[in-house]
Each structure stands twice: as structure tokens, then as C-alpha cells.
Structure 1
Amino acid sequence: MEALNKKAPFGNDVDLSRFTGQAVSRDAIPDDAPDKALEVGIELSEKKSGIYFQLDHSVILSQLASRIKGLELMPIDDALSKYDWLRQYYWKALSVEQDKYTATAELNRTKGYFIRALANEKITQPVQACLFIDSEGLLQAPHNIIIAEEGSEINIVTGCTVGDRAKRAAHLGITEFYVKKNAKVIFTMIHSWGEETYVRPRTGAIVEEGGVFISNYVLIKPVRDIQTYPTVYLLGRGAKAKFNSIIYASKDSIIDLGNRIILMEEGSSGESVFKVVATGTSKVYNRGQIIGQSRDTKGHLECRGMILCPTASITAIPELIAEHSDTELSHEAAIGKLQEEQLHYIMSRGIPPDEAISILVKGFLDPGLPGLPENLQAEIRRRLFIIDKSLTKGV
């Protein structure tokens, strides 16, 4: 496959030969997994509408609550064997030849999940999925497919994390979304990687007429190097997409995040909002692209960044492309340090400087995201509380 040598247009080039695609089969949840999963919003002890838990290359849990109707959840291999028609969705929302990471993911595919909301079903409880790396030097490459049939609604929370034994690892997750007519998907991804984890997710979404796709992304722990740039195709009249990203970049993390929204049909609209705090020597790149291709389309990009250390950096790279005279595209960006006036005001109330900084940062990153479950909002706030003491040290 020629794409194995094709570098991605963004981000550092990762030497994947340093990682192994071989893993020992596992059949039990490690002792540290429940706490690690909780850090990414996944409660293994509570079976809500459904839960999927993958440990390295092994599917440990794939369960639906008995009371839930209109929802399917199973390992992707089982789904491909059960449904011949699913093959027409496999690698349709993005190309397997996109770059070396998509090609490697296909040749080293290691499970992944299939989630489907049946027509006109409203799945009120979040579906939970956790991808857990527990082996040193492992390359994990799941392929996930989510389908929301016509008129359905589904809320999915996916957490990706590593165990204490996986000091160095790589994650190449492939995820495809298919949002049918008048369907709605709220997808929340929270990452909690290790300081030597290389992450290259690849995502594509196709949204049909009247469909809504909302993607929430949260990263608040150090990572060695992450780069992702999902693309959403709004190919139906009135289709909508929104990306919300909350990033706390610390230590020497390299974070290259972006997304592309293509407004292909009349009345479609898209929005992308980034909130970033950078400390330590971290480097953050926020890329956003909206392409207006049809009449009465609207798109907006927004990046708000706060730099707490002189050795950290944030680069905002917005791109608006109008290919039709009746498209309305806009962007705004603001990057800077803490507002001195706000800091002095809080300190004037008798609050120490480090606590004053913490209050401002937590307010800036408040996870008021649409569809975000309360347990996940609480976990994010807990994580922000834990890093309070490091805010003035830049670690």
C-alpha cells in the first residue's frame, strides 16, 4: 500500500516502527482501569444504555442494558460479519489512503466498536466506550463506525486512556459517523494519555438533510504528540455541525488539533470553537477550515487561547473558503496572557495569587458543552482542581 509512506500534511512525522501491533489476549479488567476510565468519564460499574471497553486489542465488555430498545452496540468485527450492508460504510467517510496512519490502521486493525441508533429512536442515556492501552510499546488501531438512522438521536461518550504499565504507546483510532436525515449525534471524546503516547486519530462524518452532528473534545493531561483533523461533510439541506474543544496543554506536550467543515448543501451551517490554555513548554496548533459550497450557508471559527508561561505557545490557523457568492463565513481569535485587571480584582479579595490564577483558568475552561453528561463535567472540574497547584509553575 503506497500510502504507508505518505506523510500527513500536518503534525510531526511519527516513526510507527517503534511500536508493535502484537498484543497478548486479555480477558479481565486491570485493577487500575476503573479509576483510569473514570478520569475520561467512563463508569465501568454503571451500565447505562450501553458500554464498550477495549483493553489493548481485546474486547472485555460490549453490553447493552436490557431495557434499551432501538440501539445496537457490538465489536466492529461482529457487526461486519452480521451485516453485509455495513461494508458500504467501511472507509466511506474518509480514505484509507489518506496518509500513513490510515493505511497502518487498516493493515493493523485491532477491533473497534459499532454503534447504531435505529430509525426514530431517542437514546436518552449516554452510550459509553473506553479504549484502554495497557501494554508498553503497543500500537492500538481500532476502527469505529457510528450510524444514526433517520430521525434518531444518540449521545456517545468515548474515553481514551493508558494504564500505568504503558509508558510508551501509539493510538491510531479510525472513526466514521453517518448521521441520517433529521438524526442527531452528540459525541464527546475525552483523552487522558501518557507523557510518551503518540496519538493520530482519523475521523470523518457524513451528515444528511436536517441532521445534526456535535463533537465535544477534551484534553487536560500531558501527551507526547497528538495530531488530528476530522472532516465533516454536510451533504444534506439544513445539515449542521459543531465542534467544541477544551485543551489544557502542559509540560512539553505537542498538540496539533483542527477540523474541517464542508457546507455542501443549501442551508447547511457549521461552527468550531477552541478554548486553549498553554503552560510549560507546550506547543498548541489550532487549525480550522470551513468551506462554503452552496447558497444560504453559514460557518464560524473561534479560537480563544490563554498562555500562562513565556515558554508555551499557541498558534491559531483559521481558513475560510467561499466557493459560492451566498455563503457567510467568519472567524475570531484572541490569544494572550491572563487579564491583569481580573487577577488583581480577585487578589484584592484576599485570595493568594496561585488560587486567583486557578479561578480564572477554571472559569475560562468551564466545560459547559452541549450534551455533556454531568458526571463528565464533574470529572473535568475535578481534573482542573487537581492541576490547580501546577498552574503557576507551568508543569
Structure 2
Amino acid sequence: MKEIDLSEFKFQGLEQEALQDLNDLSEEDKEQLLMAGVVSDLSTRSASYLQMDQSAVHCSSKNDDVEIMDIKDALKKYDGLEEYFWTLVDKDKDEFTRSAYENLHGGYFIRVKAGAKVKEPIQSCLMLKSENVGQNVHNIVIIEEGAEAHIITGCSVAHGTKAGAHLGISEFFVKKDASLTFTMVHNWSENVAVRPRSAGVVEEGGKFLSNYVLLKPVKDLQMYPSIEMNGPNSVARFNSVVVAPKGSHLDMGNRVVMNAPNTRCEIIARTIATGGTIINRGHIGAHYTPSKGHLECQGLILGDGRIWAIPELDGSTEGVELSHEASVGKIAQDEIEYLMARGMDEDEATSTIVRGFLNTDIMGLPEKLQKEIDKQIEELQASDAM
């Protein structure tokens, strides 16, 4: 992990004014948010939260089954959230968790009430607006028994912002027979340092489905979310699509621990290095039977760059079923030749293969964002990709 000097960033005095309507944002900032999956037209969202720098500037819900508020307000309303707040992440884990504990700026609290089937996505966004801002956030997500929801979280810089530090704590609680789809889109810039610290618990019959997309440059990102499957018949899936351009250093992955019988998990990561560095970690632990887990780390190097794929399987009892596939390489020449034989030129064939490899068809993202992602994928091809 690369070193970050937090003294280089401003962790005090960068509050922003509240926004009644996200349409009041500048067109440039709305475009930046859109590239992180966050829309200013809230007609397609059940609830919305926006934090800019060190202030929650917008929070609204049009669904009575979705409670959303700034974490500071939730701590006051629920007497410190003793059952949830700092129960899954150790506040003394490292200097980044300590910074978030000692100087909390905000973060979102989302609670979906028991039995609710929330059809429209809930959106949240954590944005760096000022230059060299330091942002400490703590997020709590609670999906109560039998509830279902899809949360789209976008993290972004404002138009023109180049440097900053984002330190984010997230704790997820998926109750009995509940289901959470959590889609995170990162839209940072070349000099931003990012340190998320995330953990979750899934109870009996619960489902936690995670999608992660990072296609833009980021100076230094390190994250390793961990999910504990503590109830029988629970399911966890992670799907990551990641690109590291030149200058980006990514140390990332996912960890799942199956602590109950009849549990299933899957971790699928697709990574491309186009000049940057990716350390792609994955860990599955299985301690009860029957349980099944599969870990897949696939990497492509287009031009320069470096990818480490580090899969780990940990079985502690007879009868667990764990498997992994890991590969790092280049686009196979025979695949290119196959498509060229069917009428494509070499660049078209390369783009088609890359687009299929990344597979960013994720439910709930704005159409304009999906088109932008497709455009970025097209641009990944390089003359020396082979």
C-alpha cells in the first residue's frame, strides 16, 4: 500500500451550502455526477443523498419505506446507533479509520423498512468540490427483514477539481430474507487518494449483490470490503469492472467469509491495466457445510502496466466447495483473427473483445452513463495492445 500524507489535505473549514434541488448544480457538476451514476432529475430515484466536501447538502426521500439522512442526524435520532455504528469496522484499524472517527464530516444513513420492495433505486453521492479537500464520511445501510432495494452510490470530483482525499467508512446490515444490490461507480481524478473501509453482515436467507465500476484515473486507491455471511441460505456476489490508466495505483479486492451452512458466494473481477498498476485480491473463507464459493480474477494488460492477481481460498471443514480461476495476459491473437475473418478490422475486433471482457451492463445506471462507459471502453484500444 502506498503512503498517504494526510497533512497535505484540508480536513477543516470546507463546508458547502445546502441544495434544495440538484438541478441547481452547475451543468459541469451535473455531468460529473452523471458519470458516477447520480442523476439530478430525481423522478427515477426513490431517495437521494449528496455530500459535497464536508457537508451534507441534499437529502430527500419520496418513498415512505426508505429513510435517508445525514449520519450525524441519524446518530442523534437513534441514540448513537449503538447496534450498528463502528460495530463492523475497527475505528483503530489504521490512520484513515481514526481520522474518520475523530473528525466525522458526514455520510449517509439508509434504512429500508421491513417487507418493503423498493423498485426505484436509492442514490447517494460523495463529492470532492474544493481543491485538496480531505473528506471523512461514515455510511450505515440497513435493509430490514424481507426488504429489497438497489442503492447506486457515486463518488466523484467536481468539475475542475484535481486533488483530494476521500476516507469512507461503510457498514452494511442485510437482515433475514432481505436483498441489497449495491452499485458503486467511482469517477475520481489523477491526484485523488481514496481509502474506503467497508464491512457487512448478511443474515439468514439474505442476499448482498455488489457491482463496482472504475474506468477513470485515480492516483491511489486501496479498498478491501469484507462480508460475513452469518445466516444459512445466504448469498453474496461481487462483480468488479476496473481500468487502471497510467499513473493509477489500485490495491483492491473483496473478502467473503461463510459462517453458516447452505451459503453461496461468488467474486468476479475484470481488470485492465493501460499503464497503471492493479493489485487484485480476493478471499473466500468457508467454515460450514454445505457451502460453495467461486473466485475469478481475470486481467488484461493493454500496452504498459502491471497486474497482480492474488486469490485466496480458506476452507476449514470437510465438504466445503471452493474454486478459483486467475489469469493475467493479453488479448489472444486467435480471437482477433476470428473476428477479422467475419468482417471486422483489427481495431474493431480489439474493441469488441475489450467491451465483452468488461461487461458493464449493470441494471439501473443512467443511459447516458452507459453510453459514456461504452465510449471509454472503445478508447482503451492501443496500437500495441497485442
**TM-score band w.r.t. shorter chain:** over 0.9
Closer, same or farther in 2 for the Cα pair 1:394/1:113, shift >3 Å?
farther
Tell me the equivalent position of 1:20. Answer: 10
Q: Which residue of 2 aligns with 1:37?
A: 33
Q: Which amino acid aligns with 2:32?
A: K
Query: Residue 301 of structure 2 is aligned with which of 298, 307, 324?
Result: 307
The corresponding residue for 2:339 is 346
Write the distance in 2 (CA, Å) between the matches of 1:339 and 1:244. 23
The match for 2:221 among 226, 251, 255 is: 226
| Shift in Å, 1:316 | 0.5
CA apart distance, 1:357: 1.7
**C-alpha contact 2:52 2:127 (8 A) present in aligned 1:** yes
The change in CA–CA distance for 1:193 and 1:20 in structure 2 (over 3 A counts) is same
Indicate the residue corresponding to 2:283 in structure 1. Answer: 289
1:375 paired with 2:366, answer yes
Query: Structure 2 matches for 1:1-395, cutoff 5 A?
Result: 11-27=1-17, 28=19, 29-47=25-43, 48-65=45-62, 68-84=63-79, 86-280=81-275, 282-309=276-303, 311-369=304-362, 372-375=363-366, 379-386=369-376, 388-392=378-382
Give the SS at the match of 2:335.
helix
Letter in structure 1 aligned against 2:364: P
Q: Which blocks of at least 5 consecutive residues in structure 2 are unaligned? A: 20-24
CA distance in 1, matches of 2:347, 2:59: 44
Aligned length: 378
State whether residues 118 and 148 of structure 1, in contact with CA within 8 Å, keep that contact through their aligned partners in structure 2.
yes
Cα shift at 1:46:
2.5
Larger displacement relative to structure 2 (145-154 or 295-304): 295-304
**Structure 1 CA distance for aligned equivalents of residues 89 and 373 of structure 2:** 33
Which runs of no fewer than 5 residues in structure 1 stay unpaired? Answer: 1-10
Q: Displacement, 1:155?
A: 0.5
- Determine the C-alpha separation between the residues in 2 that align with 1:113 and 1:144: 5
Tell me how far 1:393 sits from its aligned partner.
Answer: 5.7
Compared with structure 1, are the counterparts of its residues 159 and 394 closer, same or farther at alpha carbon in structure 2 (3 Å cutoff)? farther
- 1:60 maps to a residue whose letter is V
Give the conservation status (yes or no) of the 8 Å contact 2:361–2:370: no
1:366 CA drift (Å): 1.6
Deviation larger for 381-390 or 219-228: 381-390
The residue type paired with residue 271 of structure 1 is E
Q: Distance in 2 between matches of 1:78 and 1:87?
A: 14
CA shift at 1:251, angstroms? 1.6
Is residue 274–residue 380 contact of structure 2 (8 Å, CA) maintained in 1?
Answer: no
Conserved in 1, the CA contact under 8 Å of 2:245 and 2:274?
yes
The letter for the 1-side match of 2:233 is G
Distance (whole Å) between structure 2 residues aligned to residue 165 and residue 134 of structure 1: 9
Relative distance call for 1:42 and 1:374 in structure 2 (3 A) is closer
Length-normalised TM-score, structure 2:
0.93
Whichever residue aligns with residue 9 of structure 2, its letter is F
Q: Report if aligned partners of 1:251, 1:394 keep a CA contact under 8 Å in 2.
A: no
SS at match of 2:127: strand
* Partner amino acid, structure 2, of 1:385: K
Partner of 2:318: helix, strand, or coil? coil
> Is the 8 Å Cα contact of residues 340 and 346 (structure 2) preserved in structure 1?
yes
Are 1:279 and 1:394, in contact at CA under 8 Å, matched by a contact in 2? no
SS at match of 1:34: helix
Q: What is the CA–CA distance in structure 2 between the aligned matches of 1:98 and 1:38, rounded to whole Å?
A: 33
8 Å contact kept, 1:23–1:56: no
